Structure 1
Amino acid sequence: MEQSAPRPAGLGPAGLGGASVAERGTRARVARLILEHGPVTAAALGERLGLTPAAVRRHLDALLADGMIEPRRAVRMGQRGRGRPAKQFGITDAGRSAFEHTYDDLATSALRFLASRAGEQAVAEFARDQVADLERRYRPVVDGAPADQRVRVLAEALSADGYAASASRAQVGGEQLCQHHCPVAHVAAEFPQLCEAETEAFARLLDTPVQRLATIAHGDGVCTTHVSPKRLNETDEENKESGGTSV
């Protein structure tokens, strides 16, 4: 069941000094946009929120001072342009923690109880059952997309569920699926079965091998999954149907 996001603890009155209620609300929106969309520029934030450059800068300075965000070096894609790339801002571990659900302790305790009574395998089955609903919902969308767009479509579906995901070409071939937010990161740190079940679901949805390279649960800034190019056995099947042979 979808839960409304709690107000970040670090963005409360104590963290903002004499900021007004309106300023606290806007600052929380700025921080959440940075969390959900990955590193972004001040100009992009101003456009999304309808704020002036001066207002955006004021909120960014406050979030930087509180350790909620940090400047990131922009990676220029494609043809190089003139001048330096615009500065981007990304969420810090402290900023991400401020958005964590308040049910982490309860969920962790429940899984500990399940593991102690029924064993680790029961936790793995529980994780697969939880991911099964996500897989059922995403299946029609992913299957309906062209083969070369399925990772991007999966990223969009994950983003709609609050995972702030993105897709890009991998330097070593294939693609990378990145999730900038994980609502169960603290629980998954103790129970990696949650990450494993999700990775298995990605492989089934994309019908190709995938490999989890990094996870927020293990202290990385982003959950990164490498998606291999479409399996070569499809060529074998086509050759068999046409009466040919593969080499």
Structure 2
Amino acid sequence: MAKSDKKPGTRRDILNRLKSNGCSDATTLAEVLGVTPMAIRQHLYDLQSEGLVEARAEPRPVGRPAKLWYLTEAADRYFPDAHAELAVSLIDTIRSSLGENALQALVLERSRHQTVLYRNAMEDAPDLRRKLEALAEIRSREGYMAGVEETAEGLVFVENHCPICAAAKACTGLCAMELQVFADALGPGYDVSRTDHILAGARRCAYHVTERETVDG
């Protein structure tokens, strides 16, 4: 049976796939989503005409360069940003009315709450991977499109979307504390380092997590 060119939801599926996995060519998207490359290209051209995707050429050892598609900033509206205008307004109001110290106190209190919530979610997991999978589940419910990847260097916890991006730009402490929250929630037996950061221009946030070696004394 031939693949359907009119598969419902393909447009949104393309946006979700590019958001979660980064740039991709039409053939790969077609294989993953179960539609024809011609249909995928038509969707991509439609999305491009709306300013939601763009393409760049990537040289290949043999043949013509590959055409890789990626999301533009305009596509951010299709992904949640947790009441961005309200959040930024509240941050500005707290800063102007109560001062920077009060704002930082609120950030610290939020971080303490997150630490307890995430620690409780991970405490029964038997190993690091399952701890991170439990963390990814709860962060995904919060809108971060989180997951766990295994690389040559070990496990990487990734977040493909930041639902508080506007607020984090207005109050950098929200994002700065995230690394510490993950480290505190996992506990002293693990090291966490941020390797990619959305606010620094990366496609996603990523954290390399390793288990500390115990030293017999």
TM-superposition CA deviations, 1:4-39 (whole Å, max 9, x none): xxxxxxxxxxxxxxxxxx999752443234324545
Structure 1: gaps of 5 or more residues? 1-21, 75-85, 240-244
The answer on 1:178 being equivalent to 2:178 is no
Distance 1:230 1:34 in 2: 31
Q: Structure 2 vs 1, CA of residues 89 and 133 (structure 1 numbering), >3 Å: closer, same or farther?
A: farther
Aligned partner of 1:225 in structure 2 is 207
Say whether residues 1:64 and 2:53 are aligned partners: no
Summarize the Cα distance change of 1:158–1:102 in structure 2 as closer, same or farther, 3 Å threshold.
closer
1:161 to 124, 142, 150: 142
* Cα pair 1:35 1:96 within 8 Å, conserved: no
Task: Indicate the residue corresponding to 1:32 in structure 2.
Answer: 16
Residue in 1 aligned with 2:171?
Answer: 191
1:169-223 CA distance string (max 9 Å, x none): 466x454322111011122112111112222111022222323343222332211
1:107 equivalent in structure 2: 87
The one-letter amino acid of 2:157's match is: L
Q: CA–CA distance in 2 between the matches of 1:32 and 1:46?
A: 14
CA deviation digits over 1:70-101, x for unaligned, max 9?
A: 45899xxxxxxxxxxx9764433332255353
What's the TM-score once normalised by structure 1's chain length? 0.63
- Matched-pair contact (CA < 8 Å) for 1:39–1:72: no
SS at match of 1:209: strand
Listed as ranges, the gaps of 5+ residues in structure 2 are: 1-5, 59-65
Deviation of 1:166 (Å): 3.1
Change in Cα spacing, 1:36 to 1:204, as seen in structure 2 (3 Å) is same
CA RMSD of aligned residues (A): 3.8
Asked if the contact 2:122–2:134 (Cα under 8 Å) also holds between the matched residues in 1, the reply is: yes
CA separation in 1, counterparts of 2:91 and 2:105?
11
Tell me if structure 2 keeps the 8 A contact 1:170–1:226: no
CA contact under 8 A between 2:91 and 2:103: conserved in structure 1? yes
TM-score relative to the length of structure 2: 0.70
The answer as to whether partners of 1:36 and 1:162 remain within 8 angstroms in 2 is no
CA distance in 2, matches of 1:87, 1:146: 43
1:147 offset after TM fit, Å? 2.4
Q: Which stretch has the larger CA shift, 129-138 or 180-189?
A: 129-138
The structure where strand makes up a greater share of residues is 2
State the identity as a percent: 31
Q: Which residue of 2 aligns with 1:212?
A: 194
Matched, 1:117 2:101: no
Q: Aligned equivalents of 1:120 and 1:170: distance in 2? A: 40
The aligned counterpart of 1:19 is none
> CA–CA distance in 2 between the matches of 1:212 and 1:135?
17
More displaced stretch, 100-109 vs 131-140: 131-140
| Equivalent-residue separation in structure 1 for 2:111 and 2:15 (angstroms) | 28
> What displacement does 1:54 show?
3.5
Match of 2:75 among 80, 85, 95: 95
Q: Distance in 1 between matches of 2:116 and 2:24?
A: 32
For the residues of structure 1 that align with 2:83 and 2:143, how far apart are their CA atoms?
Answer: 16
State the AA in 2 paired with 1:31: L
